[in-house]
Amino acid sequence: MGHSELTGELIPRHLNVRVIAKDNLETFLGGLREFGEVFGPVEKERGAYIYAQLTDVKNVVQDAQRTVLPPKKYLYPQKEELFRFSTQEGYRKPESVDKGRKILFGVHPCDIHGLSILDKVFAGRYHEPRYFDRRDNLIIIGMNCLPDERCFCYSMGTDWVEKGFDLFLTELEDSYFVKIGTSCGEDLVHAQAELFRPVTDEDIQLYKERVNERNKMFVNRVELANLPQILELEYESEVWEELGRKCLSCGACSAVCPTCYCYEVYDVLDLNVETGSRIRRWDACLFKDFAKVAGGHNFREERSTRVKHRFYHKQVTFVEEFGRPSCVGCGRCVTQCPAGINLIDVFKEIRGEKVVHKSAR
């Protein structure tokens, strides 16, 4: 049995699915404002989508492909003040992290997996309370998507998700199959119960057909068997030198990655030279000075070593620590790389497969 915080009713577990007509979705999104600020994918420019606050729910793009930045930006801001300091008072923390409840609509399965990976990282050795303050106030409404030529989430096992969401929508024909994942999700449905209907046998059959059809649409396959071991054996491969000559060290792949979490910390002095702020902002292991230490030594001065480090961290060292790769196969790095580096092609080359190079853009 599940418990609804809003109504106090006990709900049979077998009733954790509903159906909502597509025509009712905008009404549903509008009603969610009673629970918090609503965000979802909107089109910034042709073919480019971003998560933004839905001041007008008509702007939401229900069939949006991957957004430019992943949803991690709502939990782990690109730039954040950690504390203020002064010569008179020492240091003081900001009043508080924004703990307002946010509802994030249209989160794809790979991005939900990405959030679960960040959960593990920030709950680890160095617990990050700011992240979890925001995480506890984030409602996730996931949505199924159709793969394009850059997706390889099927190979990474992130094309589907069974947890990590409050509601999850799968498109049928003129409606959505809605899976309720939490008691909060039950509250969202109960609050606008008139917009939903029970699931029928026809809905279930159509749901299974759509899932099977989607599985056949993936054109990219990445062979993960023994990949960490193969990477270790190919540590001195010429592939890394080739990638080093091609890579621009711009850090675009890290910026758009759902699971990259490296940052730098620096101080900003006010004009009076007596007060200032300590700032944290996203960093990237591909930047030239990322591995530079006191005294000026740089452990990864060559671009080839920085590119190699990023691949090995994702597919080897992260697996050793957390039991899975930190890549979720969303295709953002392939989409955004100005040099046209394709992660899938890199893995194929490392495995000794012949690759016909094509631009990723």
Q: How does pLDDT run across 145-170, given as a tens digit for each residue?
A: 999 999 999 999 999 999 999 999 99
Q: Are 102 and 145 in contact (CB under 8 A)?
A: no
* pLDDT in the model for residue 15: 65
Quick check: helix, strand or coil at residue 186?
helix
Dihedral class, residue 153 (left if φ above 0, else alpha if ψ from -120 to 50, else beta): alpha
Q: Would you say residue 360 has pLDDT above 80?
A: no
Walk across the sheet containing 263-269 and list its strands: 90-92, 79-86, 275-282, 263-269
The structural domains of the chain, with segments of one domain joined by +, span: 2-70+96-215
pTM of the model: 0.90
Instruction: DSSP letter for 334, please.
Output: H
DSSP β-bridge partners for residue 51: 41
Helix (H, G, I), strand (E, B) or coil at 301: coil
The per-residue pLDDT for range 222-255, each reduced to its tens digit, is 888 888 899 999 999 999 999 999 999 999 999 9
In angstroms, the Cα distances linking 204 to 62, 137, 145, 177, 182 are 21, 32, 18, 9, 21
- Rounded to an integer, what distance in angstroms lies between the CA atom of residue 92 and that of residue 268? 15
Predicted local confidence at residue 358, as pLDDT: 53
Taking 80 as the threshold, does the pLDDT of residue 287 lie above it? yes
Average pLDDT over residues 86-103: 83
Show the tokens assigned to 177: 């199959």
Distance CA 92, CA 90 (A): 7
pLDDT in tens, 103-148: 999 999 999 999 999 999 999 888 999 999 999 999 999 999 999 9
Which pLDDT tens digit goes with each residue over 71-87? 999 999 999 999 999 99
234-266 CB burial, b ≥16 within 10 A, e <16: beebebbbebbeebebebbbbbbbbbbbeeeee
